[in-house]
């Protein structure tokens, strides 16, 4: 891991994110600044397995500017046992 001293004061917060894609499980640090805050409401791709459509979910706080998060994907019977608290979205479609 390389660090450059270009910014002594780093803006934003860091999300220590774990990819929930089955078979990946990659953990990476995602730095979110005010410019990138829009990421939190949308979807993004995992930098390792490159699966698109992951939604960032914040799980908790580790430090002042360090959060734990996971990248979750819509479960469509792929065998992932993620307790979906967003299943209500599907129940509207009948």
The site for Zn ion (CB under 5 A) is made up of 19, 21, 24, 26, 46, 48-49
At closest approach, how far in Å is the CB of 44 from Zn ion? 11
Between 51 and 65, name the residue whose CB sits nearer to Zn ion. 51
* Strand order from edge to edge, sheet including 43-44: 27-32, 13-19, 66-72, 54-63, 43-44
CA distances from 91 to 14, 54, 56, 73, 87 (A): 34, 21, 22, 17, 7
Residue matched to tokens 């990138």 = 36
At closest approach, how far in Å is the CB of 57 from Zn ion? 14
> What SS3 state is found at 30?
strand
Between 65 and 68, name the residue whose CB sits nearer to Zn ion. 68
At closest approach, how far in Å is the CB of 18 from Zn ion? 9
Between 14 and 65, name the residue whose CB sits nearer to Zn ion. 14
């Amino acid at each position: 891991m390389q660090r450059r001293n270009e910014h002594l004061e780093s803006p934003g917060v860091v999300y220590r994110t774990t990819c929930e894609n089955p078979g990946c499980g990659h953990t990476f640090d995602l730095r979110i600044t005010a410019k990138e805050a829009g990421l939190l409401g949308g979807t993004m791709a995992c930098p390792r397995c490159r699966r698109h459509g992951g939604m960032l979910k914040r799980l908790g706080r580790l430090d002042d500017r360090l959060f734990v998060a996971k990248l979750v994907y819509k479960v469509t019977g792929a065998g992932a046992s993620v307790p979906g608290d967003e299943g209500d979205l599907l129940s509207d479609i009948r």
